[in-house]
Structure formats: C-alpha cells, structure tokens
Amino acid sequence: MNSSSYKITFSNFESITSTSHVNTETELNIPDENILSSKYQAHNSPDTSMLFFIIIAMFIGASTRHLLKKIPIPFTALLLIFGIVLGVLTRIGAFETWGTVDVSFISNSFESAAHFDPHLLLYIFLPILVFEAAFAMDLHTFKKSAVNAVILAVPGIVIALVLSATMVYLLDYFNFGLPGWANWSLALMFGSVISATDPVAVVALLKDLGASKKLSTLIEGESLLNDGTAIVIFMVFFGFISGDINETNGFAQFMIVSFGGIGIGTFIGWLMTRWISNVFNDSMVEITIVVAATYLTFYLAEHFMHVSGVLALVSLGIMLGGYGKSSISPKVEHFMHQFWELAGFIANCLIFLIVGLVIASRTEFTANDFLMLGIVYVGIHVIRAITITVLYPFMKNTGYGLPVKDAVVVWYGALRGAIGLALALIVVGIDSQAMADSMNLTVKEAVIVKNQFLFLTAGIVTLTLIINATTIKALVSYLGLLDISPAKAEMNYKANMLLHDTSEKKIKKLNNDRYLKNANWEEVRKYIPTIPQHKENQQIASEIIPLADKRIKLLEKEKSVYWNRFTQGMLSPESVLVLIENVAEMMDQNGNLSLADRQDLEESWQSPRWLIKLSKKGILKSWAHDMLTKQMIRSYDSSVSFIDAQDACLALLKSFAINEGVSANELHLLEEEVNQNKLQGQVFVRNLRKNHPIIYGKIATLQATRSILYYEEKTIERLKSKGLIDDGEAQKMNQNLAERTKKMRNKCV
C-alpha cells in the first residue's frame, strides 16, 4: 500500500473502512444493508427513521430537563441511561408490535440511530459541541488557565495514554485477559481514545453550583485541547492497525496537524470578525455567519487541509467569543449566546441518546469483559492521579495556580464521552482481514478485539458519566469549594431581605387598592420571599467583610458600567475590550491592589509619539492623521467611560457607608482611590481638548451624534410600547436608524 497517500484526518477513515475482505457487519451483528433498506423503505417511501429519532430525542431531552431537574443526576447522564434502556428494549424487540399494532417504526428509528455513521457523528455534532464550549468561555480566565490546560492536554495526555496502553498490554501479556491486545499500536490507540476527557456534565454542574470559574474553565479548556491532541495521536496509530501505514515523522506530523488547525481557526475567526463588525443589529445575518463559519472551519481543516478540526474550532470559538465579542452587535450578543446554548442542548440530547443506544445495541461482551472493564475503570483513575501528581509541580504556580482541592476535582471530573465512543466505532469499521494481517491475528481474533475495544470504551463512558458525574457534587461540597466568602454571604442576605421588604411594602400599597382590598393578604404572603436566616448580628457580619472584598464589589460595578455604555453605543468595541480586560486584571489580584493602580490603562490612552510626528508632516501625513484621530477617539471613549464608572463607584460607596458598616478609615481610603482614578481620566480629557482642539471637536461631534442616536432608539421603543406605532412601523424606523448608526460606527474604526 502506498504510505504517502495516508492523511491524518477523519475524511480518509471512510475509504479505509469501506474495503471489506470479511463481512464485518455480520460479525458485529449489524443488520445487512439490503435488509435495512427493505425494512426502512417499505412502499418505496423515503427513509425517515432518523428524522423520527431526532423528534423523539428532543422530546426526551425537554422532558428530562423539565420533569427530572430535581433528581441529583446530571442531565447528560440521565440521557445516557435512557438511551441504554431504549437500546435494550429495542434489542429484545419491545418496539416491534404492541398487541396487534405495528410500532416497528419506533424500533427502526432507534436501530437507525444506533448504526449512525461515526464519521457523520463527528462532522455534525463535533463542531457544535466544541465551538459552543469555546465561544462561551471567558477569554481572560482562559488565557490565565491556558498554560495549565495545555500541560494537561499535551504532556498530560501523552503520559496518560502511555500508561493506559501499558495497562492493557500487560493484561494480555500476563494472560489475565484481553487476548490479542499485546500490540503496542493497538494499545496506544486505545490509550489515546480512553485518555481524552469530555466533562460536559461536570462543567455544567460546577456552573450550576456556583463553583469557581477558574476551575470550570481549566477543566473545560483541558477537554477542548486534549480532544484535539488525542484525535491526532489516535489517527497515527489507526494507520498502523488498519494497514495504511504513515511513514511521516510522528512528532513533525503532530505539530503540523495541531498548529495548522490553530492557524486555520484563527484566520477564519479574524475574517468573520471583520465581516460581522460591518453588520449592525441584524441577528439573522450575524448568527448565520457564525454558524456557517463553524462548519466551514471544521470541514476545511479536516477534509481539505488535513489538520486538526477540533483545534481549529477552539481557535475560532476563542476568536469570536473573546477578541471578536465586541464586534457582535450589542442587541445580538445575548441572542447569539442563547442560540448556541440551544444548539448545544439539542446536540447533547441527540448524541448522548445515540451513545446509549450504541452501547446497548452494538456492544458484544463476555463475563470476563466486565472484569476487564472494572480493572480499566480503576486503572484510568490511578493513571489520572499519577499524571496530575507528576505535572502538579509545574501547575501549582502557573497562571491562577492549582490548589490541591481543585486538583482533586480535576482528577475525579475527567469524564469520557461521545468523542471517544465515535473513535471506537471507527475502529469497529476497520476491515477485519487488514487488521488481522497488521496484528498477526486470525480474522476471528481481530473481530473479538474490535468488540472488546468498543465494549471497554462504551463501558468507561457509561461508568464515568453515571458514577463520577453523579457524585462530583458531593465531592465538591465535601472539599468546601462551594463555601462563599463573608462578603458574598452578606450580599446574598441583604438581597433576600430587600426582596422580602419590597414585597411587604407592595402589599401595603395594594391594601389601598379598592379593587383588591378584600383579598386574603395572609394567603398572598405565602407567595412572597421568606425572611432569610442570619445567624449573626448584621453589624458584626458587616464588619468582618475585608477591604479586599469591597474593592471587588466596586470593580464589578465598574465592569457593569462599561457593558451598559457599550450596549448604548457610547463606547466603541475596541475600548470596551481594553476596559474590561483592565478590570479583569485588577480582579485577579483579589482586591489586594489599590483601585488607583491603573498604569497600564493610562498608558493605553496615550498616542504613540511616532504617529503624532507622522501626522504633522511627510507623505504619510494624511494617513497618520486619520489613524491618530481614530486612536484618540478610542482613548476618549475609554477615558470618559472610566470617569463615568468612577462616579458610579462613588455612589456605591455612599451605600457602603449606610448599609455595609464600613469603617471611616476604609471609606476614606476607597474614596481616595476612586477619586484618584476619576482625576486621572479628567486630566487626560482636559489635555486632549487643550493639545488637539480640532480632533477634540470631531470627537465631541461624534459623541453628540451617539447620544442623539441612542435617544432616538429609546424614543422608538416608547412609541411602540404606548401603541402609537405598530411593529412594522417600528421595524422600518429601526432599520433606518441602524443604517445611520452603522455609518457613524465606521468612522470610529
């Protein structure tokens, strides 16, 4: 066979697995294609069995989320269980007939899903799941966690896959089980599949529980990156097992595939960011661009460029969800995230039900296989512990660091999921004769190995989801990672008290309503918030809130002001990113740094001297003047919003003095820090007005235009709410407003 034809990509699997010397479908109890065709396409009607499964899957997913949300089992684990149950029932023929009623269409749909092409599984669902996770990650937190995520995803997965391969190799070598597995290519391929984490359930649970964003970002970042690493390594050994050997240097190929994928994702992300920045408040166009870019990135990387589609998607998601976030129109950004949450929800409904059906319908096993599964399950946890222990000295002080308690969650929360199972299904599709020849086995032995490969992978997916994902909440609680600071506890207490008190005041007002005066107010009071429990005296609880936590409150207020000004069109996309990044850097110091320590922000406002010189003379004078004007517009936006945020912080400080029990010394210190910030912003604006009066005049004109356009937008909303204009008229007005707003925005970039 010509080794040069081998490419490390999903697209070549189909051609590899299509050649058949032996009927692998019969060996794996897969129905004959002709039988399926006649069964599913009776009366010459199109095969709609998969469509019916999608409908059923969405109803199961919605019902599970709605009716079983109080069950202490993660959503994806429940879907997997339902999929296994449905697969078992299908396998025993429970969906063929009910009495005299033919319900075989149900059985057909489940069988169709169970035999879903693993290549399509990856091409359809992987872009949604990977991009949605990368797009939703906080860019600043990811950047600080990225090094640790890379450590776990590259050297970590190499250590894990080598140890996992050694484990299964030795099980055969010492005749304990798994005959035929004493082959390093097979063992290392299995190690790459079983070492890739997919902590969908754990990350969702950590977010619901309110655990540290740093911890959930590390776990999710590792999963996104090690999927790409594991798949690339898997493909290398797949070539040896399938008989399509690749003679290219493995390390060189790994680097090309990995960095090639990152490059493609980054480039397409940059192009899409530029395109979206020229669209304003058109959700259909902006969301369609992002969806198309997601699938284009994966398809281009895998099918044409033969590089890592997973890493390309991660790069694309980070570009659009991080650097390109402010390019998305303010009114579309929230809808964009909701759309991808919905897409991810539907994808998880389908993929975990399919995983359950595959496990129940297609796995072949013996009693000894269950013993091997137990050993492998315990083994991967021991290997995971060894991996983290070896890497811990490098991780504990990198980025945000890795506290021991967080390391325990990272160890236990390493679930295995659908990607590993899809790769196992690809292994099942290898031609048995080719596999037997490459491993010096008989065809029958090769079939047994493939069955065991699928069973062990499916079993590990099932056990980690049902055991680890279900018990992770108890572990996190036991470790004290859900404990909140005194400041947060006090904030929650006062928020609940406020809700209760305002509801009581509303009841008193409603007592005077002549239409409601006969209401049973005691019955009404049953539906208002109860008085929250507070074990300590409020004054004492307030005094234990440290100064650092008060600074964090002020920074959170500052951040909210920036986003509000951005949504109002009063702050440019570039400026909001600079300001938000500055706040994030301050919050990383956990409130231990003075609020006035903003040297980096102040430096970002200053115009480069070389640009000022070029704008005064030379052949580049006109270009430099335009660039200088745009840079000063961004600096003005940033400084004015900074001043506005400090005013909001001063107002919040007044509430501290009244409600928080802040000492006079603390209050004076915080006021001094905030006023110092405000003064710095005012000095910059004053110097800009003095030194560049013409440019300042343009900026003032632009700012006034923004104010008028925002006022017009709010006026249209009021007219619509009062019924003075209908939806169609409001839409026309908003379209006209959007065109003028877009024209104005283009002057800022």
- DSSP for 611-667, written as a single string: HHHHTTSSTTHHHHHHHHHHHHHHHHHHHHHHHHHHHHHHHHHHHIIIII---HHHH
- pLDDT value of position 245: 57
- pLDDT value of position 701: 87
- Reply yes or no on whether the pLDDT at 234 is more than 60: yes
What whole-number distance in Å separates Cα of residue 126 and Cα of residue 114? 17
Task: Name the range with the highest mean pLDDT among 39-48, 278-287, 291-300, 336-345.
Answer: 291-300
Mean per-residue pLDDT, 450-474: 89
Q: What is the pLDDT of residues 147-193, one digit of tens each?
A: 999 999 889 999 999 999 999 999 998 888 888 898 898 999 999 99
Cβ proximity of 321 and 45 under 8 Å: no
Please report, as a single letter, which amino acid is at residue 698.
Answer: K
- pLDDT value of position 201: 66
Cα 92 to chain centroid, rounded? 38
CB neighbours of residue 650 within 10 Å: 15
H helices of 198-249, in order, are 200-209, 213-242
Locus of tokens 């025993």: 92
Per-residue confidence band for 247, with pLDDT thresholds at 50, 70 and 90: low
Helices (H) and strands (E) in the chain, counts: 33, 2
- Reply yes or no on whether the pLDDT at 40 is more than 50: no
Contacts of 155 (CB under 8 A, 6+ apart): 391
Rounded to the nearest 10°, the torsion over CA 413, 416, 419, 420 is 150
Which pTM does this prediction carry? Answer: 0.81
DSSP readout, 443-493? Answer: HHHHHHHHHHHHHHHHHHHHHIIIIIHHHHHHHHHHTTTT---HHHHHHHH
- pLDDT value of position 28: 46
DSSP state of 723: T
Q: What is the pLDDT of residues 87-105, one digit of tens each?
A: 999 988 888 888 788 888 8
- Reply yes or no on whether the pLDDT at 531 is more than 50: yes
CATH number (2.60.40, 1.10.3470, 1.20.1530, 3.40.50) of 118-336+366-478 reads 1.20.1530
- pLDDT value of position 727: 84
- Reply yes or no on whether the pLDDT at 284 is more than 80: yes
* Residue 97: φ, ψ to 5°: -140, 145
DSSP readout, 139-193? Answer: HHHHHHHHHHHHHHHTHHHHHHHHHHHHHHHHHHHTTSS-TT---HHHHHHHHHH
Cβ proximity of 428 and 454 under 8 Å: yes
Burial of 287-308, coded b for 16+ CB within 10 Å and e otherwise, reads bebbbebbebbbbbbbeebbbb
The mean pLDDT value of the chain amounts to: 83
Q: Where are the domains of the chain?
A: 118-336+366-478, 507-543, 547-691
- pLDDT value of position 746: 66
Rounded to the nearest 10°, the torsion over CA 420, 423, 424, 428 is 170
Q: What is the pLDDT of residues 311-353, one digit of tens each?
A: 899 999 999 988 777 788 877 888 888 899 899 899 889 988 9
In terms of residues, how long is the chain?
A: 749
What whole-number distance in Å separates Cα of residue 35 and Cα of residue 301? 36
Mean per-residue pLDDT, 633-652: 90
Q: How far is CA 545 from CA 444, 517, 654, 660, 661, in A?
A: 70, 43, 16, 9, 9
Percent of the chain residues topping a pLDDT of 90: 21
H helices of 319-442, in order, are 330-362, 367-395, 404-412, 418-428, 432-439
Please report, as a single letter, which amino acid is at residue 680.
Answer: Q
Does 529 or 86 have the greater pLDDT score? Answer: 86
Contacts of 178 (CB under 8 A, 6+ apart): 168, 171, 172, 372, 452
- Reply yes or no on whether the pLDDT at 50 is more than 60: yes
- Reply yes or no on whether the pLDDT at 66 is more than 60: yes
What whole-number distance in Å separates Cα of residue 680 and Cα of residue 596? 9
DSSP H/E element including 111: helix 104-114
- Reply yes or no on whether the pLDDT at 748 is more than 60: no
Show the tokens assigned to 465: 């989801």
- pLDDT value of position 453: 92
Q: Does domain 547-691 have CATH number 2.60.120?
A: no
Show the tokens assigned to 245: 């050997």
Mean per-residue pLDDT, 421-428: 85
Ranges 51-65, 415-429, 455-469: which has the least confidence:
415-429
- Reply yes or no on whether the pLDDT at 646 is more than 90: yes
Q: What is the pLDDT of residues 654-699, one digit of tens each?
A: 877 766 556 778 888 889 999 999 999 999 899 888 888 888 888 8
Residue 384: half-sphere exposure toward Cβ, Cα within 13 Å: 21
